[in-house]
Amino acid sequence: MADNLASVREEVSIANRILSHEGVLDAFGHASVRHPTDPGRFFISRHRAPQLVGPDDLIEFTLDYKPVRPTTLRMYSEGIIHGAIYQARPEVMSVCHHHSPAVLPFCISGAELVPVFHLGASMGTKVPFWDQQDEFGDTDLLVRTAEEGASLARALGGNWTVLMRRHGATVAGTSIREMVFRTIYGCVNAELQWKAQQQGHVQRLTPGEASRGGTHNIKPGPLERAWDFWEHRLRVAGGHLSGAAKAKPAAAKARSTKPKRAAKRKRR
């Protein structure tokens, strides 16, 4: 159990950094994972930019977004999004909330986001649209309360991606890697759809194509191939370790150079 939990924590921290490196997350947004043996709990990072998230940053929460153990660490404002979806969808094991520039034009205009190429089918055959104002009037556009989280989860329904008016998107998956795949290729699909619209015509996948393509995309083969690619890109870019872990050798190097410089000045 301990080894399994450690690997899950490591994988979701890598997922945060992959999604940041691939341009989906920036300083904001977050990815979470349901506890592998306790479906009534989930892990999400403390209040930190996704690119810097490591396993030690993860906090365990109940599904109503209460920390299992008391903490003085600052938490995300919108962690309730994750808990609400885990409550509504027992099969969901991982969730991402993001504000990718690829999907924001659709969130702003209200234009329907549809699958337009084979890998885009993984975002789901239908992408519903949630307007927070319908139920809650003028807000700061953040999802902070249990009622707002439940409303978003209802809008998601049995789908895998939901757009949020003038805000961003939330994506679910039955595993961390599936969630990452759906999230990244959903954003790629949005970019391609927008470009096709500039040419004056968008030919969406048929329902059958979207269903069959989506089913194929989340098989172990495609998921592992894509994950290996994204993880390799992250490693080559030097982002495979958390920010804290990377900072230690840099600091040590800085300290080690001081005696040498001092010695050199003394010889002069």
Catalytic residues: 78
Burial class (CB in 10 A: 0-12, 13-18, 19+), 183: buried
CA-CA distance, 6 to 131, in Å (whole number)?
37
Token reading at 185: 């290729």
Distance in angstroms (rounded) separating the CA atoms of residues 129 and 144: 18
Distances (CA, A) of 50 to 133, 197, 213, 243: 28, 32, 30, 10
Structure tokens at 240: 């495979």
Residues near 240 by beta carbon (within 8 Å), at least 6 away in sequence? 14, 17, 231, 234
Helix (H) or strand (E) holding 178: helix 176-198
DSSP label at residue 67: B
Give the integer Cα–Cα distance in Å for 261 and 245. Answer: 26
Is 161:145 a contact under the CB 8 Å cutoff?
no
